[in-house]
Amino acid sequence: MLVVKEMRMRLNVEIAAIAMAVAAPCFAARVTVLHTNDTHAHVDDGSVAFSAIAAEKTRLAAAGENVVLVDAGDYVQGTALGGFDEGRSVIGIMNAAGYDVATLGNHEFDYGIDAMLRNVGLAKFRTVCCNFVRKASPADRGTRVFPAYAVVTSGTVRVAFVGVTTPTTLVSAKPSTFLDPAGAWRKYDFLAGERGDELYAAVQSAVDEAAAQADYTVVVGHMGVSPDCTGYRSTDVIAHTTNFVAFIDGHSHSEFTGTRVRNAAGKEVVLTQSGSYLGVLGALVFEDGQCVSAGTVFSRGAKDAEVERLEKELADAVERQLGQEVAVAPTAISAYVPGTTDRLARREGCAAGDYAADAAWWYAGEKASLACDFALMNGGNVRADIPSGRVSLKDFRTVQPFAGALGVVEATGRQVLDALEFGAQAVGEGEFGGFLQVAGLRYTVNAARRPGVRMDATGSWIAGPKNGAYRVKDVKVYDRSTGRYRALDPDAVYRIVGNAFTLVEGGDGFAMFKGAKVVENGLATDYLVLAEYAKAFSKGEDGMPRLASEGSPLASLPAYPIAYEKPHGSGRIVIVTGLAR
């Protein structure tokens, strides 16, 4: 009997050992995960091209490396090349480059739900998102539209990628995109919860399920680290979840490699994000159960011939459509700090912001006969410098790539003050796409005062700061007849022109305009308005309009501030840090 018991015990131990060996991850082999984010249809104008990415993946595989290629969102929209056919050609290029997995960015929704679904259907890579759901009724919690994760096997290594998209997409994309046809309730939604609890639960559930099938589990998220996304940032997700080794991030256009963030169990998770516009190609290396290397690859050398051919075909097609030269710019009209990726348009006044707002203000009055008191232009819709030299329609489409409509509304001074306050919420701490560039208006932001705007879980405005403690002050409206500015009257009604996304749709969370009278929705397409404004500038000796401040059709207005040659613009927006709180 004793012998039998010993044999049974030995057999049980052997069975347990075999089971553990079968279940144990294979950590012997290395795997490299190449990653991009926020490429925004910049097919080949950064340090890295898709054709170079394809060549790098092929090179690593030829050297015997296990390699996977993923993207963290915002790939089909952002330049004229993306808008040319609503992202279809970009998807084709990514297919040819060998992408394996991608998650959705907020800008994947810019062409509408149907176009997004069509693009995903065209993709040979797998689309993953654990928190994007379709609802059958207003009360329904929703079912996932896409798989929460994908497991990619490279050689003998299995890597699970869990996708997640920022819930602020509900307002950073066109809000009506997610509504039922009658506009009464959200037919599509992003799991979030009042304090992010539903978001964290969705990620944790997907991670736990994926981890049981893989050697490494990685979250690929379009979340960002900006203050305006607090609660939904990649760092917030990591802090409230466990069971994955790395987080490949996007959305905030940040560039960092190998940042360590502690998860809910106190363990370190590698957080990485590779900038934007194909500036760099990120690379994570996993071995022996850990992320052993996090960095970037600068692929300026070899290019894949087939992918390069597709890139050129798309560029040539866009050039044929938008290559018409409109004007000459003596100097660049800046949306960025020159020579950097620092986006001025989202945090302070800038030359390109002045130009875009001026163009809308001028067009409404001179071309549409809808004289407006001033213009408001969200900085997230000013996405590139107007380059020096000859400027084409393609250049203007790159500045405002969404081909959005202008709208005109009538709103009270109180609504305007709330809008400026809401737009200034991140000043001094970061950037926000809803930061408002202006024409016919000026204002000051007290960056020393903490933001007090009250918002809902999606980031939409609910109310201004309590006790009237506004950061924005000294708001003044330009008087065309006198050339002077007069104080904004909270009770007066003003006619305003700007991006319909902001004024009419409530995009970026500008819900304070709900109920404002819509005078015009779809006045004109934004980038074409930039071109029409350019055509009205005085001409040079070559007969082409010259985009110099003194040649603007608004330069005849008495004492109206224009300084397109200065990156920080004409000073319409003053940001101070030393004011009393």
Residue 17: its pLDDT value, please? Answer: 36
pLDDT at 21 over 70: no
Fold of 28-309: Purple Acid Phosphatase; chain A, domain 2 (3.60.21)
Q: Are 544 and 535 in contact (CB under 8 A)?
A: no
Beta strands 461-463 and 454-455, pairing class: antiparallel
Q: In the chain, which segments carry CATH 3.90.780.10?
A: 323-576
Q: Name the pTM for this structure.
A: 0.86
* Segment 243-275, tens digit of pLDDT: 999 999 999 999 999 899 999 999 999 999 999
Q: Spelled out in words, what is the top-level CATH class assigned to the domain 323-576? A: alpha beta
Output DSSP code: residue 298.
Answer: -
Tell me: pLDDT of 11 over 90: no
Q: What pLDDT band is residue 14 in, cutting at 50, 70 and 90? A: very low
> What are the tens digits of pLDDT across the range 51-77?
999 999 999 999 999 999 999 999 999
pLDDT in tens, 529-549: 999 999 999 999 999 999 999
Query: What contacts 338, CB < 8 A, 6 or more positions away?
Result: 332, 567
Answer yes or no: are the C-beta atoms of 171 and 45 closer than 8 Å: no
| Residue 209 in this model has a pLDDT that exceeds 70 | yes
What are the angstrom distances between the C-alpha of 547 and each of 99, 351, 366, 553, 560?
41, 12, 18, 10, 16
Query: What's the pLDDT score for residue 8?
Result: 40
pLDDT in tens, 448-498: 999 999 999 888 999 999 888 999 999 999 999 999 999 999 999 999 999
- Collapsing DSSP states into helix, strand and coil, what is residue 11? helix
Question: Which H or E element spans position 410?
Answer: strand 405-412
- pLDDT at position 499 over 80: yes
**Tell me, what's the pLDDT at 229?**
84
CB-based contact 291:271 (threshold 8 Å) = no
pLDDT digits (tens, 9 = 90+) for 307-355: 999 999 999 999 999 999 999 999 999 999 999 989 999 999 999 999 9
CB burial of residue 550 (10 Å; 0-12, 13-18, 19+): exposed
Strand residues in 242-280 grouped as ranges (E): 246-248, 255-262, 268-274
Closest to 279 (Cα-Cα) out of 255, 257, 247: 255
pLDDT band for position 380 (cuts 50, 70, 90) = very high
With a cut of 80, say whether residue 10 has pLDDT above it.
no
Are 25 and 212 spatial neighbours (Cβ–Cβ below 8 Å)?
no
Cα first-last separation, the chain: 85
pLDDT band at 19 (very low <50, low <70, confident <90, very high): very low
- Contact by Cβ (8 Å): 147, 103: no
Angle formed by the axes of helices 88-97 and 113-122, nearest 10°: 30
Instruction: Please give, one letter per residue, the 3-state secondary structure of 37-71.
Output: CCCCCCCCCCCCCHHHHHHHHHHHHHCCCCEEEEE
Task: Give start-end residues of each CATH 3.60.21.10 domain in the chain.
Answer: 28-309
Distances, alpha carbon 404 to alpha carbons 153, 174, 223, 522, in Å: 41, 10, 24, 8
